[in-house]
Amino acid sequence: MTISRRVFLGLSGAAVPFAAGLSGPVPDRWGRLRRRLAGPLLRPGDAGYDDARRGFFAMYDRRPAAVAGCARREDVQACVDFAARQGIPLAARSGGHSYPGYSTVDDGLVADLARLNRIELHEGGRVTIGAGARLGAVYAALAAAGRALPAGTCPTVGIAGLTLGGGLGVLGRKYGLTCDLLESAELVTADGTCHTVSAASRPELFWALRGGGGGNFGIVTSFTFRTVPAPGLTTFDVQFPPAAAATLFAAWQEWQPRMPDELWADLGLGASAANLGGCFVGPRTRLTPLLDTLVRQVGTPLKRAEQERGFVDTMEWFAGCGDLSSTSCRPGWDGGGGGVEQRSYVATSRMLMRPAPDPAAVIAALTANPDTYTIVDGGGGAIARGDSAYAHRSALASFQFTQPVAPGGEAAARREIGRIRDGLGTEFGTTGYINYLDPEMPDWGRAYYGEHLPRLRAIARRYDPGGVFSFPRALIRA
């Protein structure tokens, strides 16, 4: 796996969006909310406020009216009740990797779920995870018990946003999306009520939570998942000359769907990159001949490496930050004190629903700007066999296009990825991954939710008739 992917790892948002455009409450009413909370309430000028308001993306320098450090479920209920009564924007945050379509106003209340981070293992391989837990801590705790959960690769992404948007990850072809292993969730809805949501209790809402996007139905405070025995894995990193990018993409889009579920592979594509990486659930002896078939089609690589690893070692390798339990894998923002730094780039997505008939034209679009970097993650396998609100089960792959903000600024970066997104839209269709939310995505409701849009919209309106959880890309606005 290349360093470039590690820069753009796991962008699954962990924020529940703001409602839009309303003024804040009378200032002396904040004291009433503060007295209801077990955790702190930080307002502008308070010590710790400037750190608490920050997230993964350095360019989104928002200034909410207050940040509530929720230490228990009742704190979340108090925040929902307060925001509804005062008519102010509300957002819930766990990992803080939210895109701007989620957090576009400054005058709201942030319910910071970072303190709700307990990870409790149960008999039979089940695990209950607080909505504020981040993936690094989740992987470390599960691995210590010999268990695993398919999820993303960035250790600072929150489990909440990842799961609610579906949960693409490196073990997805073998075990499914993160949301496919969800058994139940504790959800605070717009009326302040906490519900246990599962296949047996509110099954329609349970369907919607698994891929319907964070923030549309309420604030989840905890998740209970089934897990799988931690597998032995073999990682691989194959780097080709940049001139081979079109040949690599053409071969890969035919090769990956034919591979066993145990093999997941991605591409890293750019003006100076034509790389293949991924992992295999099993020993190297089974992986090597599968890679050989692709290499023969593409040509001699500049580098080829395969290594057998345990589950937690594999997650650390993808994360590129060493020990998942150390500060090197924790956020350097929001009081995390860790070594994962903020980033400044924009991104968007498309889903590859069928092999592209002109791979060279796709590569030409992706490499026209030397700063654009594209990550192509393989789909299929167990992902295709799942059943939930996630709309793109049949996709061969997801494409994430990234563009650094410097030197031209955010507007210029958005124009560049918009060119790629819209240019490939005629080829890839009206598609996108909700966890790579793009505030300028055309026909965004259909792109993110596909044929599920009417059903999801109806569920959102049923549980939030007053629009407490309203924001620029909310289902109740679709």
Final residue belonging to a domain, choices 72, 91, 112? 112
Residue with token string 């500060």: 327
Residue 19 has pLDDT above 60, yes or no: no
Residue 17 has pLDDT above 60, yes or no: no
Residue 89: Cβ-neighbour burial (10 angstroms; 0-12, 13-18, 19+):
buried
- Other Cβ atoms less than 10 A from the Cβ of 81: the count is 17
Instruction: Tell whether 236 and 103 lie within a shared domain.
Output: no
Residue 335 has pLDDT above 90, yes or no: no
Average pLDDT over residues 306-314: 97
Tokens, residue 54: 């920050």
Q: What is the model's pLDDT at position 459?
A: 97
CA dist., res. 447 & res. 144, Å (int) = 39
C-alpha separations of 189 from 78, 133, 210, 345, 466 in Å: 12, 20, 16, 33, 11
Terminal-to-terminal C-alpha distance of the chain: 38
Average pLDDT over residues 148-163: 96
Comparing 104 with 55, which gets the higher pLDDT? 55
Measured on CA atoms in the order 348, 352, 356, 360, is the torsion positive or negative?
Answer: positive
Residue 326 has pLDDT above 90, yes or no: no
Residue 353 has pLDDT above 50, yes or no: yes
Does residue 276 sit within a domain? yes
Q: pLDDT-based confidence at 196, cuts 50/70/90? A: very high
CA dist., res. 256 & res. 242, Å (int) = 20
Average pLDDT over residues 289-317: 97
Instruction: Tell whether 100 and 247 lie within a shared domain.
Output: no
Does residue 362 sit within a domain? yes
Whichever domain contains 237, its CATH number is: 3.40.462.20
Query: Which of 344, 323, 447 minimizes the C-alpha distance to 391?
Result: 447
Tokens, residue 100: 């701007």
- Structural domain of residue 249, as residue ranges? 232-315+336-449
Q: What is the model's pLDDT at position 20?
A: 38
What is the per-residue pLDDT across 211-264, written as a single tens digit (0 to 9) for each? 998 889 999 999 999 999 999 999 999 999 999 999 999 999 999 999 999 999
Q: How many domains does the chain have?
A: 2
In order, the DSSP letters of 319-365 are: HTSS-TTSGGGSBSSTT---SBPPB-EEEEEEEE-S--S-HHHHHHH
Query: Which of 153, 178, 182, 154 minimizes the C-alpha distance to 165?
Result: 178
CA dist., res. 152 & res. 375, Å (int) = 13
Give CA 455 to chain center in angstroms.
23
What is the per-residue pLDDT across 71-87, written as a single tens digit (0 to 9) for each? 999 999 999 999 999 99
Does residue 88 sit within a domain? yes
Instruction: Tell whether 96 and 243 lie within a shared domain.
Output: no
Q: What are phi and psi of 90, to 5 degrees?
A: -135, 135
Comparing 328 with 367, which gets the higher pLDDT? 367
C-alpha separations of 375 from 8, 105, 267, 359 in Å: 9, 29, 6, 15
- Other Cβ atoms less than 10 A from the Cβ of 73: the count is 17
Does residue 52 sit within a domain? yes
Does residue 175 sit within a domain? no
Residue 373 has pLDDT above 70, yes or no: yes
Does residue 94 sit within a domain? yes
Whichever domain contains 53, its CATH number is: 3.30.43.10
Instruction: Tell whether 103 and 243 lie within a shared domain.
Output: no
CA dist., res. 423 & res. 429, Å (int) = 10
Does residue 428 sit within a domain? yes
Q: What is the model's pLDDT at position 104?
A: 44
Query: Which of 474, 434, 472, 454 minimizes the C-alpha distance to 163?
Result: 434
Task: Quickly list H helices, 88-211.
Answer: 135-144, 159-164, 172-175, 203-209
What integer best gives the mean pLDDT of the chain? 91
Q: What is the pTM of this model?
A: 0.93
Q: What is the model's pLDDT at position 328?
A: 86
Q: What is the model's pLDDT at position 61?
A: 74
What is the per-residue pLDDT across 93-143, written as a single tens digit (0 to 9) for each? 988 888 765 544 568 999 999 999 999 999 999 999 999 999 999 999 999
Is-contact 121 141, C-beta < 8 A?
yes
Whether the bond into 100 is cis, omega within 30 of 0: no
Does residue 222 sit within a domain? no
